Amino acid sequence: MVPFNILVAVCLVYVGFLFLIAFAAERRAARGRVGWLRSPLVYTLSLSIYCTAWTFYGAVGYAARSGLEFLTIYLGPTLVMVGWWLVLRKLVRIGRRQRVTSIADLISSRFGKSNLLGVLVTVICVVAATPYIALQLQSVTLSFGVFASDAPEGWALPNQSATALWVAAGLALFTILFGTRNLDANERHHGVVIAIAVEAVVKLVALVAVGIFVVWGIAGGWQGVVETINSSAIAEWQLQPGRWIGLTCVSAAAILTLPRMFQVMVVENADERHLATASWAFPLYLLLMSVFVVPIAAVGLTTLPAGSNPDLFVLTLPLAQGQGQLAMLAFLGGFSSATSMVIVASIALATMVSNHIVVPLWLSIRQRTAKGRATGDVRGMVLMARRLSIGGVLALGYSYYHLSGGSAALASIGLIAFLGAAQILPAMLGGIFWRGATGAGAAMGLIVGFIVWIYTLYLPSFGEDGLISHDLMQLGPWGIAWLRPHALFGIEGLDPVLHTLFWSLSLNAISFVCGSLFTFPSPIERMQGVAFVNVFDTDADTRGWSRGGAEAEDLLIMAQGILGADEAQAFFQAEAEAQGKAGLLPDTTPEFIDRLERRLAGAVGAATAHAMIAQFAEGAVVSAQDLMAVASEAQQIMEYSIQLEAKSEELARTARQLQEANDKLRDLSVQKDAFLSQISHELRTPMTSIRAFSEILMDPELPPGMQQKYAEIIHDETIRLTRLLDDLLDLSVLENRKVQLNIKVANLHDLIEKAVRAASSTQPQRSFTLHRDPPAEHIPVITDTDRLLQVFINLISNARKYCDAERPELTISARKRGGRIIVDFIDNGSGIPKEARRLIFEKFSRLTDNNQAGGAGLGLAICREIMANLGGSITYLPGQGGAAFRVSLPVRPPKEIIERAKTS
Amino acid sequence: MKRPRGPLFLARRSYRLRRMMDAARMLPAVGMFLFFLPILWRPADTPQPDTARGWIFLFMAWAVLIALALVLARFLVRAEEEEARLSSGDPLATDQMRD
């Protein structure tokens, strides 16, 4: 048996040990050696504040009363944790990105940084958590009582209420000491987290130790346990499907929305990857915590005297078996469960109360009285507000305990608190998954849910004739049966918890959805909506401020007041450096103001931070137009990039064309050089012979016969020269489109006939086979017939000159296709090599070096120019088994050519 | 607003990771199925009391779920690292993480 004063001593030593650990952790973190302080294991253990004294003591009592139903309280959170990829991951990402300080801040920030919502959520949380904190105080007091009543000296516990007061004061001291060291909620409470991690281990070890003792020490192994369970009152338990499903859902909702769970899961989260570990490790913790609950309950029910409180089996079983030390361990476990919950809950609630109620109130008072901008030492004020809030929350809990007299069964208070917190769920899930959710809708949902919960479950929980009179419970207000707290709309017979669960959450969700559908969100709301719902998509955050406007110095003064001088200056300096400026004052760009606001939000919450900045950046708040501008900016960027893509394609195309043109130019230049030497040669040869023969002619003694002969040679050579010069002149006239056109009507057949006859003089010694289809050639043409004839003659004589077949053949085919006349000249020679085809129509190009026909390589160039002048074309026709040219010209010449013919 | 699209088909490894994410999303449904199963058979409703059997079943199901979550968590952490790598390298690549 443990004497009571030893128990108190152990308890004090344990508390001292926790203080020491917390202090060491703070010291370590202050020196920057965070390391294992922020490991996945510590994160998982810190989540264990879910298991309060309600689990430690209450679960056994719950199991003794309602069998396996207590498991629903742990199965729900398990479902949420293993499904972390769906909800928790997004929640944690948002929390980190937006520097969320509490669940009230999350809701307020999502719905346009509205402080009204912050206040609403804070009120719900405080109202729901107060009895829960009272419950923890009660459990500690009760457990003290267990030892006191067993004390051999028979001295009674001094005063239950006094014990509770001492516990509450001690907890307030610890929480204020380690919970309000720094203002920035995102800077995390290392000391507190480590202390609750240690407590998590203590409570797990304690419960498992009691469990092992019960199973193997009393019941005699698993077989014995199974028999005990089946023979105990627990076996009579009936599973109620409604409660089974409903309570699983409520507890699943609660792990997301309980302020203390939000605090450790989201706000204190140091690394998103810790969530992956916690996803299986925390359910494992829950499993270990609850695996021995049923055996303890069953063995307690069968071995302990009837009428003993099942809520205290964890303590009374070892005590009854004379295991004082085990009972002591169990006591410390229960003590840990209660204290860790109270510490975290009061930190979370105090943050909410100070950020959403005290600071905004203080700001508005300051503004009203001083007429100036609120700056000054906000930091000290916020810290003080937080300390007072911690005290206030614990005082509330204590008063509830004191007033209620600590009589209600532990389990029912827990469920009531869970249901109260669950009212935040629709707004929370809607906020992070539905962009259409609006602040007005969220407020309506919260208010409706809160009222229904208060009316149907919270107030009646104070007992018959407590806060709600017996008559009202039985008959409804003013005798309206439809409004009876436990039978809304006349639906009777439901379990009260299930009744509230159904009505509060469904009316809450309906109001939320309808409110959202029928209201229009403000620009900030819409922007925050995007930032929350699309938190994984956008790396770039939406801007909250359209113009700077504020003076950097004012902002610095204000930031110093909130963050502290060093920290604010470091932040400003870093920002200025990022902008490439020296000194402490950056340009107040919208981006900078946004980052500053988020930084401040980490300390005082989004709504307050926004309001504080708004004092300075007045008139610079974002408008709907700005919102559209942001959207269209993004749109423009995208369009621009599409345009760029198109342009780069076009550029590539142009580059290809340029490359081709360049190749051609280079060829032309080579060709021109070749021509220059060619033309010099062409001119020089006749000139040389003319000079030579004219020198001879100068000899007076030359016989007349010779004279005649040499004069003829000179004459021939000058004709050759003249022809060359004529061709050059002709080409130049054609190229300048200044040629005189003489348009007439003729029969194509006649033209071809003439051309064949005229060309026969070229290389007359070669026999040439001609293939023609005379009937097809009878096509009337309206054009400059002489010029066309010139083209035909040129093509036919070219064939005669260059066709290298042994039996040269030429096919001339003519036809009308569409509005054009097409004449093909195809010989059976080896044709023109592919690489030369590009150049044959250029001036002075000749495929062979021999100048057999005395041409200078101008024939085809002239042909091309003629055809262009006539509105037609001449092209090389590949793949015809020899050199093939296609002449095509319009049946009637185009208008401008007729004009030109007339004017000339 | 039209978003730039990622590739339509993924390499085998990315595909695996993507399916693991799907599995992670479905895990709560699996858990719900297991945890709500006793409703059908209602322990203690049978003539022979079998609350103990229900108790054993629930803890077995719980353990299975934890094991599944453990395996998936391994994969998902890797998937997240992959995502972080992709998004830091190529801004368009984040989009392919959608599906």
Mapping DSSP to helix (H, G, I), strand (E, B) and coil, where does residue A822 land?
Answer: strand
Whether residues A67 and B51 touch (CB distance < 8 A) is answered with yes
Residue B3 lies in a domain: no
Could you tell me where the beta strands, DSSP code E, fall in A382-533? 483-484, 487-488
Token code pair at residue A42 = 């510590």
Across A371-382, average pLDDT: 63
Chain A hits for B1, Cβ within 8 Å: 631, 634-635, 638
Residue with tokens 């062979």: A848
Amino acid at position B24, single letter: A
How far is the C-alpha of B37 from the C-alpha of B31, rounded, in Å? Answer: 10
How far is the C-alpha of A114 from the C-alpha of A229, rounded, in Å? Answer: 53
Residue B5 lies in a domain: no
Of all residues in chain A, what percent carry a pLDDT higher than 90? Answer: 9
Q: What is the pLDDT of residues A107-158, one digit of tens each?
A: 988 888 888 888 999 999 998 888 888 888 888 887 877 776 654 443 445 5
Nearest to A273 by CA among B58, B76, B36, B30: B76
Token code pair at residue A543 = 């801007």
Which residue from A minimizes the CA distance to B47? A236
Across A216-222, average pLDDT: 81
Mean pLDDT of chain B: 72
Token code pair at residue A571 = 């932040």
Whether residues A638 and B66 touch (CB distance < 8 A) is answered with no
List, in order, residues 6 or more apart from A783 with CB less than 8 Å away. Answer: A743, A744, A746, A870, A889, A893
Mapping DSSP to helix (H, G, I), strand (E, B) and coil, where does residue A781 land?
Answer: strand
> How confident is residue A32, by pLDDT bands cut at 50, 70 and 90?
confident
- Count of domains for chain B: 1
Residue B36 lies in a domain: yes
Whether residues A235 and B49 touch (CB distance < 8 A) is answered with yes
Q: What is the pLDDT of residues A723-755, one digit of tens each?
A: 888 888 887 788 777 777 888 888 999 989 888
CATH architecture of A626-730: Orthogonal Bundle (1.10)
Report in angstroms the alpha-carbon separations of A421 from A389, A449, A513, A754.
19, 10, 19, 108
Report H helices in A462-605. Answer: 470-475, 496-518, 523-533, 552-563, 565-578, 590-604
The residues that bridge with A621 in the sheet, in sequence order, are A545
List, in order, residues 6 or more apart from B8 with CB less than 8 Å away. Answer: none
Q: Which of A235, A248, A635 sits opposite B51 (nearest CB)?
A: A235
Chain B hits for A64, Cβ within 8 Å: none
Provide φ and ψ at A522, rounded to 5°.
-75, 165
Low-confidence winner among A491-500, A512-521, A614-623, A824-833 (lowest mean pLDDT): A614-623
How far is the C-alpha of A22 from the C-alpha of A191, rounded, in Å? Answer: 4
- When scoring A62, A79, A630 by the number of chain B Cβ atoms within 10 A, the one with the most, hence best to mutate, is A79
Chain A hits for B25, Cβ within 8 Å: 83, 85-86
CATH architecture of A4-402: Up-down Bundle (1.20)
**DSSP assignment letter at A488:** E
Report in angstroms the alpha-carbon separations of A299 from A114, A213, A237, A480.
53, 11, 16, 48
Which residue from B minimizes the CA distance to A70? B55
Whether residues B28 and A82 touch (CB distance < 8 A) is answered with yes
pLDDT higher than 90, residue A412: no
Across A663-677, average pLDDT: 82
Whether residues B73 and A276 touch (CB distance < 8 A) is answered with yes
CATH for A738-903 is 3.30.565.10
pLDDT higher than 70, residue A368: no
End-to-end C-alpha distance for chain A, whole angstroms: 135
The top-scoring range by mean pLDDT among A314-323, A571-580, A593-602, A787-796 is: A787-796
Provide φ and ψ at A520, rounded to 5°.
-115, 125
* Boundaries of every domain in chain A: 4-402, 424-538, 572-615, 626-730, 738-903
Token code pair at residue A563 = 């963050």
The answer to whether the CB of A4 falls within 8 A of the CB of A326 is: no
Q: Which of B32, B56, B58 sits opposite A71 (nearest CB)?
A: B58
Residue with tokens 């819409």: A526
Whether residues B49 and A230 touch (CB distance < 8 A) is answered with yes
How far is the C-alpha of A832 from the C-alpha of A810, rounded, in Å? Answer: 15
Report in angstroms the alpha-carbon separations of A272 from A275, A424, A472, B54.
6, 23, 50, 36
Token code pair at residue A289 = 């915590």
Chain B hits for A293, Cβ within 8 Å: none
Give the model's pLDDT for residue A698.
85
Whether residues A280 and B70 touch (CB distance < 8 A) is answered with yes
**DSSP assignment letter at A839:** T
Token code pair at residue A808 = 């040269």
The answer to whether the CB of A721 falls within 8 A of the CB of A686 is: yes
Q: How many residues does the structure list for chain A?
A: 904
Structural domain of B90:
12-97
Nearest to A599 by CA among A558, A635, A627: A558
Token code pair at residue A132 = 């829960």
Across A306-326, average pLDDT: 81
Q: Which of B39, B70, B72 sits opposite A241 (nearest CB)?
A: B39
Whether residues B91 and A539 touch (CB distance < 8 A) is answered with yes
Residue B6 lies in a domain: no
Nearest to A606 by CA among A161, A99, A67: A99
Report H helices in A158-220. Answer: 160-179, 190-212
Residue B83 lies in a domain: yes
Whether residues A230 and B51 touch (CB distance < 8 A) is answered with yes
Residue B78 lies in a domain: yes
How close A241 gets to chain B, by Cα (Å)? 6
The residues that bridge with A814 in the sheet, in sequence order, are A823
Q: What is the pLDDT of residues A383-399, one digit of tens each?
A: 888 888 888 888 888 88
How far is the C-alpha of A75 from the C-alpha of A87, rounded, in Å? Answer: 17
Chain B hits for A277, Cβ within 8 Å: 73
Whether residues A539 and B94 touch (CB distance < 8 A) is answered with yes
How close A539 gets to chain B, by Cα (Å)? 9
Nearest to A609 by CA among A572, A565, A556, A558: A558
How close A532 gets to chain B, by Cα (Å)? 17
